[in-house]
Amino acid sequence: MAKRPVPRYDFKAFGEAIKTARKGRKESRKKVCDEMYISPRYLANIENKGQHPSLQIFFELMLRYNISVDQFLLEQPAGKNTQRR
């Protein structure tokens, strides 16, 4: 059976947000990686190349830097109010 063609999500915006937040806190990549038990290259690839992080690392980074998942995963149509009254 063939795989269902599904476009891969682009994590570049997430990586940029993580990098901005990390630098805003003046944390080195090494410090973050040591505390999260991941390699500096893995974090660098997430930040710079948009590498897909594991689900666990995705959640840990979001919680660490108080980043909302909504802004990256939920698409909002431009110019349309999506709130219901």
pLDDT mean by block of 10 residues, the chain; 85 residues: 83 94 96 97 96 94 91 62 52
Task: Provide the 3-class DSSP secondary structure of residue 73.
Answer: helix
In a domain, 71, yes or no: no
Q: What is the pLDDT of residue 3?
A: 85
Cβ contact 38:78 at 8 Å: no
Q: Would 80 be classed as within a structural domain?
A: no
- Whether 43 and 15 have beta carbons less than 8 Å apart is answered as no
pLDDT at 71: 77
CATH number at residue 60: 1.10.260.40
pLDDT of res. 84: 52
The reply to whether 36 falls in a domain is yes
